[in-house]
Structure 1
Amino acid sequence: MGQISEFLDREFRHFNAAALVDAARAYRAHLAAGGKMLLALGGAMSTAELGISLAEMIRQDKVHAISCTGANLEEDLFNLVAHDSYVRVPHYRELSAADEEALYRRHLNRVTDTCIPEEEAMRRIEAAVLEEWVRADQRGERLFPHEFLWNVLRSGRLEPSFQIDPKDSWLLAAMEKEIFLIVPGWEDSTLGNMYAGHCLRGKIRDPRTVRSGIEYMMQLANFYQRTTARHSLGFFQIGGGIAGDFPICVVPMLHQDMQVENVPYWGYFCQISDSTTSYGSYSGAAPNEKITWGKLASSTPKFVIESDATIVAPLIFAYVLGR
């Protein structure tokens, strides 16, 4: 264990700090026992540059599957090719509506304290991926959203535009390791909106060229059964929303809807969230509520860390990596 891990063991002893260390220790124990881990990536973690630590987690086989939002999928790629044109706004809490409008006129799309440049990031990636969409459409091929981006990366056409160290891109690491990746609700993303627009304009004849969320769930069901036949599969969730809600449902789907017998529960569960536990909130639901839905067992190690994932996740990853 390195200096960061030793610091956490020594200093993080109570409340959310203790929950962080408990979750990190249990993560390590889960892997040491031969378990695998699925990461559910919500929020704007790619724009927060989580790839700096997440890519290494992928390379060192500490993360074996990822469920992410369409935004996190594309924003890691945006950051890879346009990092130098991002604009940081540290005083974002003081912005007026007029200030926000001025950013809009500059084609700067704000995510908390960071603005993504439309032309340098979004339009550059749109041009590259549109070629892949059109080519697949003309050939009658159908691919998942992440497969189109992996094709763009494998082609090498973007390499001259890289503005960060490629080892800090989690999408590149996932492609190189060919880990299992799903992107539920991809339509709710910048590229998803662009894709719909190109379909409406007739550049893409068949909207089914990009495979659907239902097909992702079918892929996940097969992956879950293959993996849990030999390994316990854990669930590490950053944020709330569809990135977590979608994959965790695979267990009750297999057991309750498909009547598959002896489906293992998730073997570990941790959620980093600042969502207040509340009535009727999926993102704020306590882990025990998931027991009633057939997602977790009463014996599943369960952790909730109510804090900022941009602080907590890199610390847990550092602990798991032994840094």
Structure 2
Amino acid sequence: MKSKGEISQFLEKHFLHFNAASLVDAAKGYEAQLEQGSKMLVSLAGAMSTAELGKIFSEMIRTEKVHIISCTGANLEEDIMNLVAHSHYKRVPHYRDLTPQDEWDLLQNGLNRVTDTCIPEEEAFRRLQEHIFKIWKQADENGERLFPHEFMYRLLLSGVLEEHYEIDIKDSWMFAAAQANLPMVVPGWEDSTMGNIFASYVIKGQLKASTMKSGIEYMTFLAEWYKSNSKNGIGFFQIGGGIAGDFPICVVPMLYQDLEETDTPFWSYFCQISDSTTSYGSYSGAVPNEKITWGKLDIGTPKFIIESDATIVAPLVFAYLLNM
């Protein structure tokens, strides 16, 4: 195995207790899974693409340390928006001090805020819409049906966006995934900006809803993928909570409870990065042991939870796995 770099050595020397120790333990557990030939699913919730996680996550994909991704529709599209409109983004470091009038002014200037970062409406959403609609329409007319991420892969690999690139293409995790034709599930895609736009075309009669494959079809795809890839185990690395995590992890109880395929193995590793607490009944805040009662994890499954900010933690875990 390649020797560890300075960041990894720093983590091993200084991250010794509490959430810091959990971070190192989880990274070593992830590494052990890869060494034993296990596959790894990474789920992306929140605004990880807008947080520019692609700078390091793309390298995780290129080095085959990620084998399937579950992400929200927002993360699917926002990585590409950052690719083509980065210079038009506006950072608002004083976002905690904004008044309702300040927020309204941002809207009037075509800036949609995500915490301290504003996504430009015209340069990001509309630029992407112009090109993706043509791909949707062509598929619609040809009677093709694709998943949301497959349309995005087709968009990226077509080259039509190249003239608009505003960041180094190697920093786009979606482009890395498209090049690798990485398996992906995007549950709840309909509530993303592109999902809303697609729905508007359906309402106007310009596209058929059936042109876009559904969440049920994502689950049936995932079930087959899981069965085909679980010989040496499949780990689950969850960034945030919500549907990006809950949807794919449920494939295991579905297989052995609903399909009665009782030889289905549990997930072989589990780690979640979250700052949610357990006291509100949220899935995002559920500790790993709760997943045992739902038939997702086994008693002996290596389990880790890092209660911290994913924008800080995820890059450090990935840096460790990349021997940085």
Normalised by the length of structure 2, the TM-score is 0.98
Letter in 2 for 1:168: D
Tell me, what secondary structure is at the counterpart of 2:238? strand
Corresponding residue to 1:4 among 2, 7, 28: 7
Deviations 1:18-52 (A, max 9, x none): 10001011111111111110001100000000000
What residue is the counterpart of 2:195 in the other structure?
192
Counterparts of 1:278 and 1:255 in 2: how far apart (Å)? 30
What residue is the counterpart of 1:285 in the other structure?
286
CA shift, 1:261, in A, is 2.2
CA shift, 1:279, in A, is 4.6
Deviations 1:80-99 (A, max 9, x none): 00000000001101100000
Please report the RMSD computed on the Cα atoms of aligned residues, expressed in angstroms: 0.7
Deviations 1:285-308 (A, max 9, x none): 111010011100010000000000
Counterparts of 1:295 and 1:289 in 2: how far apart (Å)? 9
Contact 2:72/2:189 (CA < 8 Å) preserved in 1? yes
CA shift, 1:280, in A, is 2.1
Tell me, what secondary structure is at the counterpart of 2:167? coil
Deviations 1:238-272 (A, max 9, x none): 00100000000000000000001210000000000
Tell me, what secondary structure is at the counterpart of 1:187? helix
Deviations 1:143-187 (A, max 9, x none): 100111111111101001000000000000011111111100000
Task: Indicate yes or no: 2:54 matched with 1:54.
Answer: no
What residue is the counterpart of 1:309 in the other structure?
310
Contact 2:186/2:244 (CA < 8 Å) preserved in 1? yes
What residue is the counterpart of 2:258 in the other structure?
257
Letter in 1 for 2:224: N
Runs of 4+, deviation exceeding 3 Å: none
Contact 2:111/2:120 (CA < 8 Å) preserved in 1? yes
What residue is the counterpart of 2:118 in the other structure?
115
Counterparts of 1:175 and 1:34 in 2: how far apart (Å)? 23
CA shift, 1:231, in A, is 2.2
CA shift, 1:281, in A, is 1.3
CA shift, 1:138, in A, is 1.1
Tell me, what secondary structure is at the counterpart of 2:113? strand
Counterparts of 1:63 and 1:268 in 2: how far apart (Å)? 14
Corresponding residue to 1:79 among 78, 82, 96: 82
Letter in 2 for 1:42: A
Corresponding residue to 2:214 among 209, 212, 226: 212
Counterparts of 1:260 and 1:12 in 2: how far apart (Å)? 41
Corresponding residue to 2:21 among 18, 21, 30: 18
What residue is the counterpart of 1:45 in the other structure?
48
CA shift, 1:203, in A, is 1.2
Tell me, what secondary structure is at the counterpart of 1:171? helix
Corresponding residue to 1:160 among 141, 158, 163: 163
Counterparts of 1:279 and 1:79 in 2: how far apart (Å)? 34
What residue is the counterpart of 1:275 in the other structure?
276
Structure 2 gap segments, 5+ residues each: none
What residue is the counterpart of 1:171 in the other structure?
174
Tell me, what secondary structure is at the counterpart of 2:305? strand
Contact 2:157/2:179 (CA < 8 Å) preserved in 1? no
Counterparts of 1:51 and 1:83 in 2: how far apart (Å)? 13
Task: Indicate yes or no: 2:131 matched with 1:128.
Answer: yes
Tell me, what secondary structure is at the counterpart of 1:16? helix
